[in-house]
Amino acid sequence: MATVTMPQLGESVTEGTIVQWLKQPGEAVHIDDPLCEIETEKVTAELPSEYEGTMGEILVPQGDVAEVGAPLCEVVEAGATAGASHRAEPEREPEPEPAAAGLWRGGPMAIPPDEEDAPPATAPGRSGPALKANRPAAPVALSPAAPANGRNPEDRSRFYSPAVMRLAAEHGIELAAMAGTGIGGRVTRKDVEARIAAGPAPAAAVPPARRETAPAPQPAGMPVAARASSPAAGQGGRYEVTPLSATRRTIAENLRRSNLEAPQAWTMVEVDVTGLVRVRERERARFEREEGVPLTLLPYFTAAVCETLREFPMLNARWEGDELRRYHSLDIGLAVAAESGLVVPVIHDAGDLNIAGLARRIADLAERAHTRRLRVEDIEGGTFTVNNTGAFGSIASKPIVNPPQVGIVTMERAVKRAVVRDDDSIAVRWMMNVCLSFDHRALDGLEAGGFLAALKGRLEALA
Amino acid sequence: MAAMTVIEAVRSTLDEALAGDDRVFLMGEDVEAGGVFRATEGLAGKYPGRILDTPLAESSIIGLSIGAAHYGMRPVAEIQFADFIHAGFDQLCSEASRWSYRTRGDAWLPMVVRTPWGGGVHGGQHHSQSIEAYYGHMPGIKVVAPAFPADFRSLLRAAIADPNPVLFLEHKRIYRLVKQDVEGAPAETVIGRARVTRRGDDLTIFAYGLMLHESLAAADDLAASGIECTVVDLLTLNPLDRETILEAAKATGKVLIVHEDTLTGGLGGEIAAIIAEHAFEYLDAPIRRVAGPDIPPMPFHHAMESFFVPDRAKIAAAARELAAY
């Protein structure tokens, strides 16, 4: 029996309110399953389970406030920890063949539970709130990487040994996309070597988002892919062969497929964003103070794209297999030029977010894209893509549709221009080009043009 | 040449050394009569005056060796059981090890101290010890612990020829247990080199002496279930062959170190440290040690002795965990 306590959800937070219990006594509980929702003055977070088993007694009813460290509920563990099972069945538990007498009692490569993890019943006095409060903040939904990091002896799918990290770095393997055969799903050296030996871009390395579509015919002419990874000098040192990372290969394959399969048309509109620039300048200081993330034009642009997509749902679609599927949710991919290569994290349900929500989500995804901490679900299921090419200083670009999506829109750099206005006056205005590429199989210029015109209207209306 | 045992390998090599070099002589307790393990049997008759019985005084045996070696002889001393060598610890560690250093290289001590070590023969508290960690810690003394007859021959020759003090460890359990046709068998002729005796891709086992044989047996068992081990025979325990150790560790990234000596402060810790220090980026699992438990003596009772001494089953169990990691 394990007791779940109130985690420290941020510094100086001393208590939290149980907003809702998500598990009821008797329900099965898996590692990382949210047990309840906790609201504090700073955040609202789901409390993921550190245990596998069955939900036990709820000690703090819904709506009540509990101090940090206070017991919230109990979980009856399934494959109870070594300590617990020994306690329960001291005689029956067969001592595993002692690999070496005098050491290693914890089973296969057990991470010794630290004292805080010991079953509370053995030392009731020790599990009190005072002690518990000292432990590092329990993993909460806000930091998804934390729970796997050694605290949970079963799941090692995100634990990478030095050998694995070195090999992955040398060969550009994306470990997060790999399934491991080691203990607790750990990716082993041999897994990585097998992956390297298997050659470029097998299924495991392709982000799952791409996997949903019909498998692409294996490219006959991709000479780059066959190359091994070590840089080799060619023709007496006149050039060097650049090793291809898995990311690079995936990008190459997707873009090649896009150009090969999707007949793409391109169109562009000029947008007067003077009003938008002013809005942003006006809001910026307050926003950044209150929200803690930079305010750029991108969230405004994304919000406008979302509203316009509602109007033109045929662009919020994916060409999957032989079907054109229009999606109800607006899951907007955001092209991020990370150092490790282009990656398109997805703002799920972007249509439900306001400017602040979008700004936060964009900042979070971009940060994690750059630090290679995106999770699989972060790159899955985009229905339309926004590309902030203006970030490079570009004023016009021709994006390539990100298959199986059917449309991609760019936000070019806003620049000051002398503009002839409707009344024939000439004024200095902030102008921005917006470019759209679309899969002509899925839609025609009529819809595309309508979409761009509507988007332009929305952006220009902002003031 | 027919297959020979370890004891025959030792005896024949001593015989050849005595025949080939007048400066070589043997001394120790009961060596004239052949010694308790019969390592010097028949030599006293063949080389009169060069096989010397000594009192039961290990300090004197080693001290005499130091003096004789200093004056140009090539003494090969036998300590009847390694358990008793500690009476000569001061002679070995405070004198022999630093002789060359003290004389700024003017003097050398070409001496060999042979001794049967290790357990698994129901020798009880005073006839089962592993002593390599004490002396392996001491710079200036080479420590050699072969496992196969051919290596016993070549390395004993190398030890006698070496200008420095060499502690030559003969695991008593394998004296008659292990046979090998030494003609054409792989043999390491240089002190300070380890040998990869088996190649496998899943994990690397480091062992020496009796444990090398247990490790090879475990590797056979493991191969039957698809786990392939690299097995390294360390052969020389001081100085350790870092190059081979690192190469073999890097090859699999999973390291299992086996010794029957007790765990804490055993040689496994040093090997693990070398690997952690120089091959960190190649490690794919925590380094593991299978060793005797931290209990002062090896017990006499059969069941308790089995509990103490690592064997193929314990090694295989640890290896399976490591392979699965």
pLDDT attached to residue A200: 67
Distance from CA of A3 to the nearest CA of B (A): 29
Question: How confident is the model at residue A112, as a pLDDT?
Answer: 41
Per-residue pLDDT at A11: 56
Interatomic CA distance for residues B114 and B116, integer angstroms: 7
**Digit-coded pLDDT (tens) for B85-131:** 999 999 999 999 999 999 999 999 999 999 999 999 999 999 999 99
Instruction: Note the pLDDT of residue A218.
Output: 41
In sequence order, the 6+-apart residues with CB closer than 8 A to the CB of B158 are B189, B190, B191
C-alpha closest to that of A137 among A245, A13, A247, A221: A13
B4-50 tens-digit pLDDT: 999 999 999 999 999 999 999 999 999 999 999 999 999 999 999 99
Domain A2-132 grouped into CATH 2.40.50.100: yes
Task: Please answer yes or no on whether A163 and B284 come within 8 Å at the CB atom.
Answer: yes
Place of tokens 């030494």: B182
- B236 in Cβ contact with B132 (< 8 Å): no
Residue B54: the pLDDT is: 97
| Domain ranges, ordered by start, for chain B | 4-180, 195-324
Q: What is the pLDDT of residue A374?
A: 82
Spatial distance between the Cα atoms of A372 and A174, rounded to a whole number of angstroms: 9
Dmax over Cα atoms in chain A, in whole Å?
95
Question: What's the complex ipTM?
Answer: 0.82
Residue of A nearest to B308 (CA): A101
Partner-chain residue, chosen from A98, A165, A183, that has the shortest CB–CB distance to B325: A183
Contact A165 B281 (CB under 8 A): yes
Report the distance separating Cα A388 and Cα A413, nearest Å: 8
Q: Are B325 and A107 in contact (CB under 8 A)?
A: no
Tens digits of per-residue pLDDT, B213-233? 999 999 999 999 999 999 999
B126 carries an active-site annotation: no
DSSP three-state, residue B193: coil
For chains A and B, CB pairs below 8 A equal 77
Contact at CB, A166 and B289, closer than 8 angstroms: no
**pTM for this model (two decimals):** 0.53
pLDDT tens digits for chain A (463 residues)? 888 988 877 655 677 888 889 998 998 998 888 898 887 765 667 888 888 899 989 999 888 888 888 899 999 888 654 344 344 344 444 444 444 443 434 444 444 444 344 344 333 333 333 333 344 444 333 333 444 444 455 788 889 999 999 999 988 888 988 889 999 889 999 999 999 988 765 444 334 333 334 444 444 333 333 334 444 556 667 888 887 777 787 788 888 888 888 899 999 999 999 999 999 999 999 999 998 899 999 999 999 999 999 999 999 999 987 789 999 999 999 998 888 788 899 999 999 999 999 999 999 999 888 887 888 788 888 999 999 999 889 999 999 999 899 999 999 999 999 999 989 999 999 999 999 999 999 999 999 999 999 999 999 998 8
> In chain A, what are the domain boundaries?
2-132, 162-252, 262-461
Domain B195-324 has CATH 3.40.50.920: yes
CATH topology of domain B4-180: Rossmann fold (3.40.50)
For residue B250, pLDDT over 90 is answered with yes
A104 with B286: Cβ contact below 8 A: no
User: Which sequence positions of A are flagged as catalytic?
Assistant: 440, 444
Cβ contacts of A108 on chain B, cutoff 8 Å: 321, 324-325
How far is it, in rounded angstroms, from Cα A420 to Cα A418? 7
Per DSSP bridges, beta strands A232-234 and A239-241 are antiparallel
User: Does residue B172 surpass a pLDDT of 70?
Assistant: yes
**What pLDDT sits at residue A15?**
79
Contact B79/B167 with Cβ under 8 angstroms? no
Superfamily for domain range A262-461: Chloramphenicol acetyltransferase-like domain (3.30.559.10)
| Contact assessment for residue B224 and residue B174, using Cβ atoms and an 8 Å cutoff | no
pLDDT at A129: 39
Q: Hey, is the C-beta of B317 within 8 angstroms of any chain A C-beta?
A: yes
Q: Answer whether B286 touches A (CB < 8 Å).
A: yes
Q: How far is CA B266 from the centre of its chain?
A: 14
Answer yes or no: same fold for B4-180 and B195-324.
yes
Residue A172: left if φ>0, alpha if ψ -120 to 50, beta else—which one? left
- Quote the pLDDT of residue A249: 79
How far apart, in Å, are the Cα atoms of A33 and each of A21, A43, A144, A320, B69? 12, 19, 12, 31, 74
* Cβ of residue B179 closer than 8 Å to a chain A Cβ: no
Q: Where are the alpha helices (DSSP H) in B49-148?
A: 58-70, 89, 99-102, 132-136
Could B285 and A166 be called an inter-chain contact, meaning their C-beta atoms sit closer than 8 Å? Answer: no
